[in-house]
């Protein structure tokens, strides 16, 4: 963290033509951008949204409203520009990158065995690190993977405890019997892996996570080293980042949660990692969509800070 | 309201490559834009932020942290491009218009007499209507006027009842004795005008409002006729629009509240007019700043709707 940049921002903020604190959360965002970009004049000229896609063995348990084939179909849709995230990235003049993680080889069904070996998990983390490159001003992390809210719920249960009911939600839209099955699947996974994983967050990631979740955790770590602030998207992205939080809570200080999704576990998870979401719009799509929308708030904050006149420059009187 | 356009949007929405409802509030926004723009493909190509500035006789009562001279100084700052709203309008490729309402002639001190004659109030409303022109896709309504949160609080008390304490807040930053004085001023105004105004919202606007509040109420009405959806900004803008609501609640259906400000009366007022704010960022600057930030959400919604592929176009499977 660049505390000198943060301090320079605070000094300038107090001189800008507005009552102290009148831009609210936008002022906090500017401080945060300065701290993690290491810039006295933070900027959002080059935002990137990275979407990681993978398939899940647990989908065979009937936990999603959609078949696993939709993962690749949606990746093709991303590449052809037809998905929501494509349009949203367009509105922020952003750069969209789609990373496929071996779609033809889903993880193992984690109700039977670990989803990934530790080696495969580490390899997916390393792959995720590639999303971080020099010159990116903020990185939004999204995902696509039929079955991955089940994986995220199991991961949250492993990392933070509670009950499967508290972490499982409709995902793409399951209810009734299918939702009950999803809860049972998460319960079974927890029972199967809890002795082997214990309090080891990385073991939980390998046991019940997915390749795209591992990649997101890797991207979070790489972004920290590259001075790239991160916007976490929905329940799955936040669950992946929570692995890093479970290892060291301060290791997520360069990340903000872009929005709270309609998936009920997301609000609970955000509270567990001590964050406040920037937006609350009832979105529940994943694919980086909420992160892309939140980029406009970061740009608003940075642009106000760098472009506003000071009281002195504008000849505006201060408080009486 | 163009219900045919809204229905066309709903039909298309169901075919887009995402689970039903997965864009949450963005989908509601798209419907709302279609309904009030009267377009089957709503768009936000030409957003405008209009800022109305006026001075208030009640400022002489010491209700603000800043002197009345700051109103003109900030107008100059808007014209020179140095204020927050200038930067924010830049981030949304918007058009900023600043309307001065006779800054050298403040309204009368409404603790002594009516702020405006009914004729002067009507004239200010007519002036506000000029902010609406053909070709504007959304109109954000902001204001600048030292003393105007006192006016807004008195107006809310007149329109919705309650107590002065419930409607008065720090505004630009008063506390302690000055805040107590502000509350006493609103109490006094209410006692002075309540018999003459009764349940007549327009009489309350003239009695305790301001020229910029009247102009905003006029702009709200003109926008309805011109098929221009409106984003209300903070406490003052929303209070001005609440005059229209008090006359007919349906008359504000073409308006959304852009954000809930840190001014405590704003949350209460938003609930009174049956709205849900789009953003909750602790902003409390006025000058259209929150409306400008919220434009990016409207553009996100409209762009997703018009640009996304359908399940058929993308070859993506529907639910199992």
Q: Is residue B64 part of a domain?
A: yes
Residues from chain A contacting residue B70 (CB–CB below 8 Å): 316-317
Contact predicate A157/A164, CB 8 Å: yes
Contact predicate A205/A213, CB 8 Å: yes
Same domain, A165 and A29: no
Instruction: Tell me: pLDDT of A181 over 90.
Output: yes
The stretch B46-62 carries a mean pLDDT of 97
Q: Is residue B320 part of a domain?
A: no
| pLDDT at site B320 | 78
| pLDDT at site A119 | 98
Contact predicate A18/B285, CB 8 Å: yes
Q: Would you give the distance in Å from CA A106 to the centre of its chain?
A: 21
Same domain, A123 and A268: yes
Q: CB–CB of B308 and A20 under 8 A?
A: no
Q: CB–CB of B317 and A66 under 8 A?
A: yes
Residues from chain A contacting residue B74 (CB–CB below 8 Å): 17, 316
Mutation site for A-interface testing, chosen from B96, B144, B266, B300 by largest number of A Cβ within 10 Å: B300
Same domain, A206 and A122: yes
Same domain, B83 and B15: no
> What count of residues does chain B have?
320
Question: Half-sphere exposure of residue B146, counting CA atoms within 13 Å on the CB side?
Answer: 29
The conformation of residue B106, written as its DSSP 8-state character, comes to: P
| pLDDT at site A299 | 98
Q: What is the mean pLDDT of chain A?
A: 97
Query: B99 - beta bridge partners?
Result: B52
* 3-class SS of residue A102: coil
- CB within 8 Å of A51: residues ≥ 6 apart: A78, A85, A96, A97, A98, A99, A142, A143, A144, A287, A288
Q: Is residue A171 part of a domain?
A: yes
Quote the number of domains for chain A. Answer: 2
Same domain, A150 and A174: yes
Among the partner-chain residues A280, A300, A317, the one whose CB lies closest to the CB of B91 is A300
Q: Is residue B267 part of a domain?
A: yes
CA distance B266 to B272: 10
CATH number at residue A211: 3.40.50.10210
**Structural domain boundaries enclosing B159:** 47-300
Q: Is residue A320 part of a domain?
A: no
Same domain, B16 and B125: no
Same domain, A177 and A34: no
Same domain, A58 and A35: no
| pLDDT at site A45 | 98
Q: Could you tell me the strand order of the sheet in which A95-100 lies?
A: A95-100, A47-53, A138-144, A230-232, A255-257
* 3-class SS of residue B138: strand
Q: Percent of chain B scored above 70 by pLDDT?
A: 100
Q: Is residue A319 part of a domain?
A: no
The stretch B198-203 carries a mean pLDDT of 98
The stretch B253-272 carries a mean pLDDT of 98
Residue B185 touches chain A, beta carbons under 8 Å? no
Cα–Cα distances (Å) from B143 to A176, B98, B234, B240, in that order, read 50, 9, 9, 10
Which own/partner pairs from A131-134 qualify as long-range (CB within 8 Å, at least 24 positions apart)? A131/A48, A131/A50, A131/A52, A131/A97, A131/A99, A131/A215, A131/A219, A131/A222, A132/A219, A132/A222, A132/A223, A132/A225, A132/A226, A132/A228, A133/A226, A134/A226
Instruction: Tell me: pLDDT of B208 over 90.
Output: yes
The stretch A103-107 carries a mean pLDDT of 98
Instruction: Tell me: pLDDT of A320 over 90.
Output: no
Same domain, B105 and B188: yes
Residue A307 touches chain B, beta carbons under 8 Å? yes
Question: Angle A90-A51-B26 (CA atoms, 0-180°, nearest 5)?
Answer: 50
Same domain, B34 and B88: no
Structure tokens at B62: 């010491």
Instruction: Tell me: pLDDT of A318 over 90.
Output: no
Residues from chain A contacting residue B236 (CB–CB below 8 Å): none
Q: Would you give the distance in Å from CA B261 to the centre of its chain?
A: 11
Q: Is residue B63 part of a domain?
A: yes
Produce one character per residue of A286-312: b if its CB has 16 or more CB atoms within 10 Å, e if not. Answer: bbbbbbbbbbbbbbbbbbbbbbbbebe
Q: Is residue A208 part of a domain?
A: yes
Cα–Cα distances (Å) from A164 to A108, A167, A247, A285, in that order, read 20, 5, 22, 21
Q: CB–CB of A300 and B88 under 8 A?
A: yes
CATH number at residue A12: 1.10.1610.10
The stretch A280-301 carries a mean pLDDT of 98
Chain B 120-179, residues with CB within 8 Å of chain A CB atoms = 172-173
Residues from chain B contacting residue A320 (CB–CB below 8 Å): 64-67
| Backbone phi and psi for residue A213, each to the nearest 5 degrees, phi listed first | -70, -40
Same domain, A30 and A63: no
CA distance A205 to A158: 9
Same domain, A20 and A144: no
């Amino acid at each position: 963290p660049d505390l000198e940049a943060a301090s320079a921002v605070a000094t300038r903020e107090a001189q800008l033509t507005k009552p102290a604190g009148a831009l609210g959360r936008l002022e906090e965002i500017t401080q945060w951008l300065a701290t993690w970009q290491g810039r006295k004049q933070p900027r959002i000229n080059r935002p990137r949204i990275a979407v990681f896609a993978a398939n899940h063995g647990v989908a065979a348990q009937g936990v999603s409203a959609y078949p696993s084939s939709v993962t690749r179909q949606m990746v093709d849709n991303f590449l052809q520009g037809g998905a929501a995230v494509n349009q949203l990235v367009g509105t922020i003049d952003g750069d969209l990158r789609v990373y496929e993680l071996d779609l033809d080889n889903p993880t193992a069904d984690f109700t039977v065995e670990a989803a990934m070996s530790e080696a495969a998990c580490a390899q997916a983390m390393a792959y995720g690190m590639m999303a971080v490159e020099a010159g990116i001003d903020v990185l939004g992390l999204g995902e696509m993977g039929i079955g991955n809210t089940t994986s995220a719920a199991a991961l949250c249960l492993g990392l933070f405890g509670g009950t499967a009911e508290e972490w499982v939600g409709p995902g793409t839209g399951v209810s009734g019997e299918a939702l009950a099955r999803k809860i049972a699947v998460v319960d079974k996974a927890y029972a199967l892996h809890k002795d082997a994983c214990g309090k080891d967050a990385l073991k939980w990631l390998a046991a019940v996570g997915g390749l795209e979740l591992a990649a997101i955790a890797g991207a979070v770590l790489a972004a920290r080293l590259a001075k790239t602030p991160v916007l976490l998207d929905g329940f799955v992205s936040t669950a992946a980042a929570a692995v890093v939080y479970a290892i060291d809570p301060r290791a997520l200080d360069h990340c903000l949660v872009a929005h709270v999704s309609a998936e009920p576990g997301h609000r609970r998870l955000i509270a567990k990692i001590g964050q406040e979401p920037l937006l609350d719009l009832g979105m529940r799509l994943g694919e980086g969509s909420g992160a892309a929308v939140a980029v406009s708030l970061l740009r608003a904050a940075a642009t106000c800070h760098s472009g506003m006149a000071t009281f002195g420059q504008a000849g505006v009187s201060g408080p009486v």
